[in-house]
Amino acid sequence: MPAEYLFDHTRAERIQAWAGCANLAGQRAWEKADFVREGVLRTTVWRGGEPM
């Protein structure tokens, strides 16, 4: 797996990924790639002066 190579050959300690809360397919894709959900970010993206 590419992440294993990264950790074995660099000083990286963490990889982050995210998908929008309505993007269930994206969330499942990250989970299938062995990412672990640690939390939910709320009102972190703004468009047109309003949080999404």
Other beta carbons less than 10 A from residue 49's beta carbon:
5
Half-sphere exposure of 45 (CA within 13 A, CB side): 8
Stronger pLDDT, 17 or 1, i.e. the higher one: 17
Query: Each residue of 17-40: pLDDT tens digit?
Result: 888 888 999 999 999 988 898 888
Mean pLDDT of the chain: 86
DSSP conformational letter for 51: E
**How far apart are the C-alpha atoms of 37 and 19, rounded to whole Å?**
11
- Under 8 Å between Cβ of 3 and 34: yes
Q: Give the total number of structural domains in the chain.
A: 1
